[in-house]
Amino acid sequence: MCSILDQRIVGNRLFFSSGNYTFDDDGLPGHNTSSLYWLFLNDPINVSGPIDLNSLGSTDLPNDSLTGGTSPEAGGAAGTFFYDHTTLYLYAGLVGPEADGINNALWAFNSTIDSWSLVQVEGGKISFGNDSEGVHARIPAQSFNSSSPQWTFETATSGIQGLNILKGVMVYVRKGQADLLIAFGGYQTAYTGVEFAAWPWDRRPFSDVFIYDIFSNTWYQQTATSDLPDLRTEFCAGVSSAPDDSSFQITIHGG
């Protein structure tokens, strides 16, 4: 699955959407679909080959804004799910001419009754569709505030003015007065690259590490050394920590 929308576990189900899929029963090459899928985690899963379709549940996406319209680009593009213990709110990662058709609202899937609704979000005009393939992070053990959903826009007041990363990763780390966001990898989009003939950007070296201090609203760029990972995009990253938060480790996979 390429550029899969950020997966989310709710109860005994793993939800996911977007990406390219190959189904044994349709004879087609990898292609996008207009469905939200879930995998039942309480059932045994054979991972030695393709997933048994009997292990999957699905429902149609409710609107062209979630499928990229009538002619979506293959694979969609990476986005994320917000979550409030029962409901998934789909944000970004949905490309196509209709993807920017809804402002100040998120499509929400209630996993208790398996139904869709359109939820209004206050805080300023924002169209969620084509904000695709950027980086995002969420705070573990916290959920989306569904009682009064609201956007908050932050503008860096010092340090570097943000980062230019496409298809990289960002992780949340419990460090500092109000914790940190750390981003790296992917493509740099600040200027046209020379690495690929048919792609406008170069991959970022893993020596480039961007740190956002939430308390001071400041971005920093650090240079990593030693044994750097190979250049890559569209990979996964996770954070593990010591019991007393005295040290942290970021592990990456795939790409």
Query: According to the model, what pLDDT value does residue 92 have?
Result: 64
Are 219 and 162 found together in one domain? yes
Q: Which of 214, 38, 246, 68 is nearest to 137 (CA)?
A: 214
Query: According to the model, what pLDDT value does residue 207 have?
Result: 95
Query: According to the model, what pLDDT value does residue 152 have?
Result: 76
**184-212 b/e (C-beta count within 10 Å ≥ 16 → b):** bbbbbbeeeeeeeeeeebbbbbbebbbbb
Q: Dihedral angle at the C-alpha atoms of 143, 81, 215, 133, nearest 10 degrees?
A: 170
Query: According to the model, what pLDDT value does residue 75 have?
Result: 44
pTM score of the predicted model: 0.75
Are 114 and 180 found together in one domain? no
Are 163 and 142 found together in one domain? no
Are 73 and 109 found together in one domain? yes
Residue 191 tokens read as: 């200027």
Are 174 and 205 found together in one domain? yes
Q: Which of 211, 223, 141 is nearest to 176 (CA)?
A: 211
Are 33 and 56 found together in one domain? yes
Are 140 and 187 found together in one domain? no
What's the CA gap between 1 and 21, in Å, rounded? 6
Query: According to the model, what pLDDT value does residue 29 have?
Result: 73
Query: According to the model, what pLDDT value does residue 1 have?
Result: 35
Are 134 and 179 found together in one domain? no
Are 145 and 164 found together in one domain? no
Query: Which residues, 6+ apart, have CB-to-CB distance to 41 below 8 Å?
Result: 9, 12, 13, 14
Domain count within the chain = 2
Residues in the chain where the model's pLDDT stays below 70: 1-7, 18-20, 25-26, 30-31, 64-79, 92-103, 124-133, 140-146, 157-159, 161
Query: According to the model, what pLDDT value does residue 19 have?
Result: 66
Are 47 and 74 found together in one domain? yes
Query: How would you classify residue 178: left for phi > 0, otherwise alpha for psi between -120 and 50, otherwise beta?
Result: alpha
Of 135, 153, 171, the last residue of a domain is 153
Of 118, 153, 188, the last residue of a domain is 153
Are 75 and 179 found together in one domain? no
Query: According to the model, what pLDDT value does residue 194 have?
Result: 92
Are 117 and 170 found together in one domain? no
Range of the domain at 148: 1-153
Of 131, 153, 175, the last residue of a domain is 153
